[in-house]
Structures are given as structure tokens and as C-alpha cells.
Amino acid sequence: MPREEAREVTHFGYRQVPLADKQALVDDVFHSVASRYDLMNDLMSGGLHRAWKDVLANTVNPPKGNRPFKLLDVAGGTGDIALRVAQAGGTGTRATVLDINPDMLAVGRARARGQGYDDALTFIDGNAEALPFPEGSFDAVTIAFGIRNVPRIDVALKEAFRVCRTGGRFLCLEFSCVDVPGLDALYDFYSFNVIPALGRMVTGDREAYRYLVESIRRFPHPEAFAQMMRDAGFARAGFERMAGGIVALHSGWRL
């Protein structure tokens, strides 16, 4: 490891850790919860994550006919976004799911096969910080609930920009900051008490879900994230809050 990298620090949830150690810690989390990840999403969000992901897929707005359209879903995990975009698009729509965790990808591959989408979807083991695709390969690049797990967010944004074609769109769905008085206290209580306990019951891993909650709190405010997108090269960077700010859909274009 380069000496500079060994000295840099970042956060894994609320814990300060060497930058070079973060990815392995994140990988352990998703290795531990992969088989119950989809169930936990439904339980934690009361099914709401489905509606948020539907908004993302509809915003991608793939063509309905046979016009070719290529989506890259970074940190795509079990394929939720790619499946939705493939379902929303026509016969020309193809989606690539890239994730660093083979356990999450294995669940996704099985789902795609089970739903008859194995031709439309490709699953690739890879790192958001070093995408294995040439410049301008995709019409749209998405990342849902993934970017806050990536150690170098700025590097991942630059990579998303690089592989997006000119005229293509980047969309990022991520947890955000609750901005409704009253809801914030309720959300805090639910996040720090209910979610880790639920995580322990369903996956046996309380710590994984404590990390999840803490990582949400450490993620930049949406205005700051929009600036990070601009710094990576995206034009017209903006966001739309949903569910009182629990999540935000960030959007930018490569122009």
C-alpha cells in the first residue's frame, strides 16, 4: 500500500479508521447480510424503499421500444435498480450491475434468472473507484444506497462521470437529512434503537445495521453532495428530497 494511503483516515460509521481499511470493513457487512438483505430492506423501510427505487427507475426513463439503451448500476447489490430499469424499458434496454461483493451479486444473479431477465442484466464484480469500462460506455449511470459505503466518494463520482456518455445522466439515490420537525426525533429513535435490534433478529448482525445508521448520519448534506458532483464534472447537479428528507435523489448530466 502506498505510504500516503496508509496515513489517511476516514470513517466507518462513527469510527475513525485508516482509509485503506474501510473497504474490507464494508465488505464484511455486506457479506454478513447478503442472504437477508432484501428482506431487511422491506422490514426496515416498511416497503418504502420500493417506492424510492421506482422513482429512480422512472427518472432513468429508458426507451420503451427497441432503441439500444445501456445502464450501469454501480454498487448494484442484489439488482433492484437494474431489474426495475429493465422492466421499465423496451427490448433494447440492457443493464450492468457492478458490485464489489460477490455474495450480493450471487443473490442478484439468482433473482434475475428467476424473473427471466438474465439476458438483459449482466453482473460484474468490480470497484466503484476503478470502473472496468471505457470512457462514455453508458447512457445512464445509477447508484442507490451505495455511494456512502465507498471509501473515496470523489474518486467514484469521477469514475461515474468518465463512463457516462456525453448527454448521459447520473442519478444517485441516498439517505439524506430529515428536515421535518418532529419527524427528526422519531427517525432518530427508530434508527438507533429499532433498526439495529431488527438487524440482529433477522440477520444475526446488530453491528452491520448500527454501521448502516451511523454511515447515513455521516453522509454529506445534499447541497454538499451536489457540489461534489459538480467537482466531478457533472452539470445541472441538483436533488429532490423524498419522505421528509429521509432520502434524496441526486441528478447530474455529462454535457
Residues at the interface with ligand SAM (CB under 6 A): 23, 26, 30, 75-77, 80-81, 99-101, 104, 127-129, 144-146, 149-150
Indicate if the alpha-carbon torsion angle 55, 61, 65, 66 is positive or negative: negative
Q: How far is the CB of 255 from ligand SAM (least distance, A)?
A: 26
Name residue, grid cell 450492468: 96
Terminal alpha carbon distance of the chain? 36
* Residue 79 buriedness (CB in 10 A; 0-12 / 13-18 / 19+): buried
User: Which residue minimizes CB distance to ligand SAM?
Assistant: 77
Comparing CA positions, the residue from 188, 206, 189 lying closest to residue 197 is 206
Residues 248 and 240 sit within 8 Å (Cβ to Cβ):
yes
Smaller CB separation from ligand SAM, 104 or 229: 104
Smaller CB separation from ligand SAM, 123 or 145: 145
Q: How far is the CB of 239 from ligand SAM (least distance, A)?
A: 17
Smaller CB separation from ligand SAM, 106 or 194: 106
DSSP 25-66: HHHHHHHHHGGGHHHHHHHHHTTHHHHHHHHHHHHH---SSS
Q: How far is the CB of 10 from ligand SAM (least distance, A)?
A: 12
Q: How far is the CB of 154 from ligand SAM (least distance, A)?
A: 13
Smaller CB separation from ligand SAM, 172 or 229: 172
Smaller CB separation from ligand SAM, 50 or 67: 50
Q: How far is the CB of 67 from ligand SAM (least distance, A)?
A: 25
Smaller CB separation from ligand SAM, 77 or 233: 77
Compute CA 250 distance to the chain's CA centroid, rounded to the nearest angstrom: 11
206-218 vs 19-33: helix crossing angle, rounded to 10:
130
Q: How far is the CB of 150 from ligand SAM (least distance, A)?
A: 4
Residue 119 in 3-state DSSP?
Answer: coil
